[in-house]
Chains A and B, each alone.
Chain A
Amino acid sequence: MTSLAPESEKTLDKSRIVNDFSIHVATINGSGSQSSNNVLMRSIFQMGIPVSGKNLFPSNIAGLPTWFTIRVNKNGYIARKKEVDILVAMNPQTAFEDVKSLPTGAVCVSPVELKLDAIRSDVHHYQVPFTELAAQATDQIKLRKLLTNMIYVGVVGELINLDFKEVEIAIARQFEGKQKAIDLNVTAVNKGREWAKENIKKADPYVVERLNLTKGKIIIDGNAAAAIGCVFAGVSVVTWYPITPSSSLAESLEEYLEQYRKDKDGKATFAVIQAEDELAAIGMALGAGWAGTRSMTTTSGPGISLMSEFVGLGYFAEIPAVIFDVQRVGPSTGMPTRTAQADLFSAYQLSHGDTKHIVLLPGSVEECYQMAMDAFDLSERFQTPVFVLSDLDIGMNNWMANPFPYPTKDLDRGKVLTAEQLNKLGEFARYKDVDGDGIPYRTLPGTNSPIAAYFTRGSGHNEKAQYTERPDDYENLMNRLNKKYDTARKYVPKPEIITEKDAKIGLIAFGSSNPAIMESRDQLKVANISTSYFRLKAIPFTEDLRKFVESYDRIYVVEQNRDAQLRELITMELPEYATKLKSVLHYDGLPIDARFITDAIMAEER
């Protein structure tokens, strides 16, 4: 917990706190609480109130503790909030610790037999006979455990004044078409609700009231959003190897492809191959990219480590492919189900030798969708592997968003010469910088022209793709690759820059830190600290970065890794400003929260 008191504390006691609190549900992994949590979150969302949900789960199948946090916020703040206002303590293993960490005045809903009221007297305890209520809800012993979860939805719903019509709609949606399940779950919710109505004397301030801030909005996780982007980007070959937290990207992509990418005869305009490992996954993606399709793979840290050699080949031999790295905590196996932004260095420079890649940095589910399309365009335009660096927080958590717009830009297939063009040109050199932008022309296997063929290799090659070890050939090639990289600066997504007139300090960040930073900027403003904000969306950096860094006295680079990877990269680019750059680093595996950033900056600024 931070040293600062939770916001809610100031207005505690009898006053009502409307649409501004967090619910923290502690359960056991595998106990089926996910549907209940979704129903609870959706019901609030359907009442027009902004919500976000974060699933904190262990790296196992069943048995270990898991938490789900629903943040309800009328201002639309969707970052993680550290303070828990309402705890639903269903897991005996963690209940003691969970209750101990609550702020004064918080709510604890728990099974009566846990006797949690003995631990804290400064918390509102509502102790519920869950076992008894579950027995009333069904005769089937097997179902009782599952229904217990729906009973807490009823209890919490009654407590916070949830509209139960919305709960019924959310349940119908959750168990779509399974009438028996719908009825059973509605019964369970009502059991909890009725019990709470009769037995709970509400002493806490947390309630919801209908708003109109979610109409027309969607709830989606970043992996599904990226998958939709890939479908509309025209991806044709998807090769992947299961790894948390990226698997759901490939899985939902396959589902969408099955649904939307078949011709009138039911034949697929795509191929999805689950590879035997990540080395094969990237190999297949490069093979397909070389042969002329839009190809991609999805992975996480350990996966990109394995892909290193092939990604270097892709860079050097200039083959397009898109790599989604949904980051998790490393090094090594690290914490597979926790979040981080610590693959920046490795993605940027993956492989041995002088190598650097185009890296896109989505900061929202909307950008996961948009940047999926950008990534394929850039990859084919620049004939190179392109990384999209998402993370577990964006990728696997639920976010509220505006519906995604239909793409207005045509697919950029880059410089590919057809047989007709080749025959007209009369000559072709695969790696020649014809246009002076560092980007050569390529031909695809199968092109019916006697001059189309060339030999792709990861070893030294000249403009004609012939093997060479000549010093000048190598130098020319490396310099052209650099020129190509410089050209990319003009094509990558531009940063989002928010300028405050009176600001002396600037913030720089990327990816999933964005919601916490937006909230922190408001908190800082309350403390009379005005900030400008530069949200990086891609590497290579654009010219804007220099301008921004030049404009402020101090720059705080906020990132979710230990080694200040982004700050280091900025220092490499702008060494003259190294002393201006300060770090705010969050790397405990949990998503960064606004208060953490605010405290860190205030400690420096005061």
Chain B
Amino acid sequence: MVESTAAKAPATNRLGLTQADYKGSPSTLCDGCGHDAITSQIIKAAYELALEPHKVAKLSGIGCSSKTPAYFLSRSHGFNAVHGRMPSIATGASAANKELTLMAVSGDGDTASIGLGQFCHIVRRNVPLVYIVENNGVYGLTKGQFSATADIGTKSKGGDVNEFPPIDLCGLALELGCSFVARSFAGDPKQLVTLLKAALSHNGTAILDVISPCVTFNNHESSTKSYKRAKETEMPLHEIGYIPFYEQIAADYEPGSTIDVKMHDGSHIVLKKLHQDYDPTDRFQAMTTIYKANQDKQFLTGLLYIDEKKTSLTEMLHTVDKPLASLTQAELRPGKDALIEIMASLM
């Protein structure tokens, strides 16, 4: 046998697209940002599921996380909405074209603070979409203020201590009757890609709360890897500002086990993967499990809850089979008789 000397063609999915076809423009986020790790898994999941890019619409609000839809699926339409109000754009888009696969990316500020209302209502309406929260507990773009998911006792870059309890978006989603609730970690690509694929296959609102460490603003004075400390030991990498370089945190561990992850700011996060025999169709169990995890200060990861039978907004609207956006004038404008009938009723 003669070995081929030609370069090996990149692998393709069943649409004949390569993984590169699912990429977007280069990220402008800080090196080592958890969000970029999530972006990579979104690209991988979309590639592996062989999503048709033109049938996907990407949506986001405002914030670091909300920039990320530009970094994946460049062949899909994208919408960068106003702060906290991406869900309403998504709801309208879904009603207009039910054939679109909606992928939404938001942050903890965008979702749990300014956007909490819209978050609740998109869940309540069960709008079919994947809703990824890139959760890091801080406002990155405005330089490190607390978000509503920041833990009590967390210190800000300026040294302020957060005294308010965090909002648990998974707990809240469960309370609201969300049909798909999962939590993952940006540094656990194996789990994340699996959950993303499951979420993309779900008919209804799939909430995916992903812990995604902020390398730049979650590093207060006392941290061993604080901005100041890093500056003393590292060289500037960017001309606009100094961004310390961090390795992306990675974790891979067995279901049921617990892992202690050291974050960029020196703090620790205890991740616990749901046990293999955990029943994600039992909402009551999901709620008690997450409640207990919060008490034990653990971040439970995995698929917390799924209800595949819950009616989605698309079904509730009872619209014609075709997307509303594709209807023609003949289908949209009633005939002359209709107007005559209406007028007669008013005489």
Contact = CB atoms under 8 A, between A and B. Distances in A.
Interface of A: 216-220, 228, 231-234, 236-237, 239, 256, 260-261, 263, 265-271, 273, 275-277, 279-295, 309-310, 313, 403-404, 406-407, 410-411, 443-450, 452-459, 467
A404 B343 contact: yes
A288 B319 CA distance: 14
A285 B95 CA distance: 10
Interface stretch (B74-82, B208-216, B223-231): B74-82
A280 B116 CA distance: 12
Contacts of A410: 329
B78 to A, nearest CB: 4
A310 B85 contact: yes
Contacts, number: 213
A291 B117 contact: no
A511 B90 CA distance: 35
Contacts of A216: 347
B162 interface: no
B121 A280 contact: yes
B325 interface: yes
Interface string B36-66: 0000000000000000111101000000000
A25 to B, nearest CB: 22
Nearest to A402: B343
Q: Give the residue among B69, B88, B92, B343 with the most A Cβ atoms within 10 A.
A: B92
Contacts of A276: 117-118, 120-121
Interface in B258-274: none
Nearest to A411: B329
A368 B89 CA distance: 27
Contact of A280 (B99, B118, B331): B118
27 contacts: A219-B346, A228-B339, A234-B329, A256-B342, A260-B338, A269-B331, A271-B96, A277-B117, A283-B82, A284-B89, A286-B89, A287-B79, A287-B91, A288-B92, A288-B95, A288-B324, A292-B97, A292-B326, A293-B97, A403-B346, A445-B77, A449-B54, A454-B78, A455-B78, A455-B79, A456-B77, A456-B80
Interface of B: 52-55, 57, 69-70, 74-82, 85, 87-97, 99-100, 117-118, 120-121, 125, 317-321, 323-327, 329, 331-334, 336, 338-339, 342-343, 346-347
A232 B78 contact: no
Contacts of B74: 453
A455 B319 contact: no
B94 to A, nearest CB: 8
Contacts of B329: 234, 410-411
Given A456-B77, A458-B81, A270 B324 contact: yes
Given A237-B95, A445-B100, A453-B78, 18 more contacts: A239-B92, A267-B319, A276-B117, A280-B117, A280-B118, A280-B121, A283-B91, A287-B89, A287-B94, A287-B96, A290-B89, A313-B81, A406-B339, A411-B332, A444-B77, A446-B55, A448-B54, A455-B79
Contacts of A446: 54-55, 57, 77, 97, 99-100, 323, 325
B81 A237 contact: no
A173 to B, nearest CB: 10
Nearest to A451: B75
Contacts of B121: 275-276, 280
A43 to B, nearest CB: 14
B97 A268 contact: no
